[in-house]
Every structure is written in C-alpha cells, then in structure tokens.
C-alpha cells in the first residue's frame, strides 16, 4: 500500500457550474446593453455586478419583468417609427422654397446653409429639425433645385428637395 499513488478527483457539477445568468440593468462595457440576459462567472456577478446595481439575478420573476419591458419598448419603437415615417412623407411630398438674394447673372450672394433649410422646413412643413442633422449634398451657389439629406438616427434618413428662388 505504500507504493499506491493518491488519485485526486476533481468534482464538477456540469459544464457551467461556476457561471450564472444575470439581467443587466444598464450598459456594461465589453459585456452587453441594458435589459440583456448574459452569462458571467459567479464571482463577477455576485461580487461586482449585483452589488454595483449594474445587474440583477436572472430569477423567473425577473425574467418575466424583462420580457414585459422588452414588449413595452418594442411598442414605443413601433410608434416612433410610424411618426417618423409620417414626417418623412410630409418632407418629401413637395420641394421646399428658399429665397436668396441674387446678382444679375443668377448667382446667389453667399450660399444656402443647413440653417436656412431648417428654417424653411419649420415655416413650410411645420416640423422643427436640428440643423446639424441636415447635410447639403451639392454646393448651392446659384438658383435651381438641389437636394439635402436629413439623418434622423438609427439608420433612418431621407432626401429632401429644395428650390432656391430669387427674392
């Protein structure tokens, strides 16, 4: 019996024995976004995420609450998208008219800016759009019809035609 080797056996309770699932309350770098279900190590979840109020344990009741929040968020997003589509339809229905002072050759003094386009949208269409969301595609130095792009965020954008007329 003196020559017998001691055999140490490591007991594991399955593949994910030292992992746990948590629901993130807010965005965590390199882990996930708010309301996301993630799997983390037990120590990281219990000693950092949960005490720091960055996450809650993924219990059945917390999972039901998460599903309900996701449903409400999807309804809100659908409503916002419908409103955005109606705004885009109104903006693209007819070209905007922008007045500019011109010389005898038809060239305008200065150029048309995004501020003037934003002002024209507010006066003619009734929507207030931030000038920083408007990008003029061509340089506007003379009378005529031109296009500008409006970026609403989340990949939603539209092209708006505007006509520069002499004042």
Final residue belonging to a domain, choices 47, 71, 95 = 71
> What confidence category does residue 71 fall into, taking pLDDT thresholds of 50, 70 and 90?
very high
pTM of the model: 0.62
Q: Quick one: 60 and 97 in the same domain? A: no
What is the residue whose two structure tokens read 């007991």?
A: 11
- Residue 78 counted as domain residue: no
List, for residues 144-162, the tens digit of each pLDDT value. Answer: 899 999 998 888 889 999 9
pLDDT reading at 3 higher than 80: no
**pLDDT given for residue 133 in this prediction:** 92
Average pLDDT of the chain?
A: 86
Domain coverage including residue 133: 85-166
Domain count, the chain: 2
- Residue 12 counted as domain residue: no
Assign residue 91 the CATH number of its domain.
3.10.430.100
Number of residues assigned to the chain: 167
- Residue 5 counted as domain residue: no
> What confidence category does residue 25 fall into, taking pLDDT thresholds of 50, 70 and 90?
very high
**pLDDT given for residue 137 in this prediction:** 87
pLDDT reading at 7 higher than 60: no
Q: Quick one: 63 and 104 in the same domain? A: no
Q: Quick one: 151 and 102 in the same domain? A: yes
Q: Quick one: 92 and 157 in the same domain? A: yes
């Amino acid at each position: 019996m003196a020559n017998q080797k001691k055999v140490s056996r490591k007991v594991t309770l399955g593949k994910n024995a030292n992992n746990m699932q948590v629901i993130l309350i807010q965005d965590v770098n390199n882990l996930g976004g708010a309301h996301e279900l993630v799997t983390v190590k037990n120590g990281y979840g219990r000693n950092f995420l949960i005490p720091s109020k960055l996450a809650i344990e993924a219990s059945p009741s917390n999972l039901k609450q998460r599903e309900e929040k996701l449903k409400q968020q999807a309804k809100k997003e659908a409503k916002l998208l419908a409103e955005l589509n109606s705004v885009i339809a109104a903006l693209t229905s007819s070209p905007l008219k922008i007045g500019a002072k011109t010389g005898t050759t038809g060239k305008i003094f200065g150029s048309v800016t995004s501020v003037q386009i934003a002002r024209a949208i507010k006066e003619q269409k009734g929507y207030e759009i931030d000038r920083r969301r408007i990008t003029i595609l061509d340089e506007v130095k003379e009378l005529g019809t031109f296009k500008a792009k409006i970026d609403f965020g989340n990949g939603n954008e539209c092209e708006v035609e505007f006509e520069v007329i002499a004042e």
